[in-house]
């Protein structure tokens, strides 16, 4: 069975998430983002390439939150930031993506919608709104370890939106994405350099609103936990790389 078939089967299971205690419902806001939802962008002199197929994406790292100083400002999606809404910023997930965030310190969970970009601080993977941080009981801590998992689109439910969650699958093909290029020649150069050290290095083309890009990926393992450990050992050399499933 292919990875895509597994995702298709598992997407039939639906879950309603709350943070433990009173439910925190997520208001579905349809924003006319168009192709900008996955458009490459620059920040601090670096170009970031949003993931074209994020369903099932999972990641662990540090979460921070932002509040009063940004309340009322425009976000990367064009929306006005509301610190009391359940939203968040992420560097590479498409704008409009819904994500389950789990506070690994206390187990509390909340669903947020990605509508902004960031955080651009090493080690941090998501920047939460004040409302989401309060739901996770992390306001005083400021920064906490979390796990994020992308959710499938929501459907209406009697107690709020119900999401089709793709579980954290343990088996599959896991790669470390180390680069993305407009130039195929540059992608080949990186692949050839990496191939001297790694057994399997792939170039994966994908079409973006700005034209074709070429992603360079190193095969890590068929087991998610093993892949994460290998990725961690390469973090110093590839600080912006991340694990993806094929």
What domains are defined for the chain? 3-165 (2.40.40.10), 171-245 (3.30.70.1070)
Our CA angle for 19, 22, 24, nearest 5°, is 60
From the CB of residue 87, how many other CB atoms can be counted at a distance below 10 Å?
A: 23
Q: Are 18 and 135 in contact (CB under 8 A)?
A: no
Please give, one letter per residue, the 3-state secondary structure of the chain.
CCHHHHHHHHCCCEECCCCCCCCCCCCCCCCCCHHHHHCCEEECCEEECCCCCCCCCEEEEEEEEECCCCCCCECCCCCECCCCCCEEECCCCCCCCEEEEEECCCCCEEEEEEEECCCCCCCEEEEEEHHHHHHCCCCCCCCEEEEEEEEEEEECCCCCCEEEECCCCCEEEEEEEEEEECCHHHHHHHHHHHHCCCCCEEEEEEEECCEEEEEEEEEEEEEHHHHHHHHHHCCCCCCCCEEEEC
* Integer CA distances (angstroms), 145 to 65, 107, 128, 176, 227, in order: 12, 11, 13, 21, 19
What is the overall mean pLDDT for the chain? 77
Greatest mean pLDDT among 7-16, 30-39, 187-196 lies in 187-196
Alpha-carbon Rg for the chain, nearest whole angstrom, is: 18
Choose the most confident range, by mean pLDDT, from 15-19, 74-78, 167-171, 188-192: 188-192
* pLDDT higher than threshold 90 for residue 232: no
Comparing 22-36, 99-113, 137-151, the range with the smallest average pLDDT is 22-36
What percentage of the chain carries pLDDT values higher than 90?
A: 33
pTM of the entire structure? 0.60
For CA atoms 43, 33, 124, 70, give the dihedral sign. positive
At 57 the pLDDT is 80
Phi/psi-derived region of residue 172, left when phi > 0, alpha when psi is between -120 and 50, beta in every other case: left
Quick: pLDDT tens for 106-139.
989 888 999 999 998 888 999 999 999 999 999 9
Strand partners of residue 113: 87, 98
Q: Tell me what the mean pLDDT of segment 70-81 comes to.
A: 90
Predicted pLDDT of residue 149: 87
Pairing of strands 87-89, 109-116: parallel
* Segment 23-46 mean pLDDT: 53
Which of 41-55, 71-85, 201-215: highest mean pLDDT?
71-85
Higher pLDDT, 24 or 73: 73
**Predicted confidence (pLDDT) at residue 82 exceeds the cutoff of 90:** yes
Q: How much of the chain exceeds pLDDT 70, in percent?
A: 74
């Amino acid at each position: 069975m292919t990875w895509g078939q597994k995702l298709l089967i598992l997407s039939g299971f639906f879950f309603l998430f709350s943070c433990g205690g009173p439910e925190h419902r997520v208001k579905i806001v349809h924003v006319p983002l168009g192709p900008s939802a996955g458009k490459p962008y620059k920040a601090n002199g670096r170009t970031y390439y949003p993931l074209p197929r994020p369903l099932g994406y999972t990641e662990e790292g540090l979460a921070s939150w932002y509040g009063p100083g940004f309340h009322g400002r425009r976000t990367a999606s064009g929306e006005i930031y509301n610190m009391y809404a359940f939203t968040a910023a992420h560097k590479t997930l498409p704008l409009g993506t819904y994500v389950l965030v789990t506070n690994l310190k206390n187990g509390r969970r909340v669903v947020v919608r990605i509508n902004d970009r960031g955080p651009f601080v090493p080690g941090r993977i998501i920047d939460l709104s004040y409302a989401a941080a309060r739901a996770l009981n992390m306001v005083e801590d400021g920064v906490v370890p979390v796990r994020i998992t992308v959710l499938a689109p929501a459907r209406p439910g009697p107690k709020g939106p119900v999401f089709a969650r793709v579980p954290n699958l343990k088996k599959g093909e896991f790669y470390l994405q180390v680069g993305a290029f407009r130039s195929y020649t540059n992608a080949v150069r990186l692949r050839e350099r990496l191939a001297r050290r790694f057994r399997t290095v792939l170039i994966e083309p994908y079409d973006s609103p700005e034209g074709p890009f070429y992603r360079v990926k190193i095969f890590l393992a068929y087991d998610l936990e093993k892949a994460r450990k290998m990725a961690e050992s390469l973090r110093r050399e590839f600080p912006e790389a991340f694990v993806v499933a094929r």
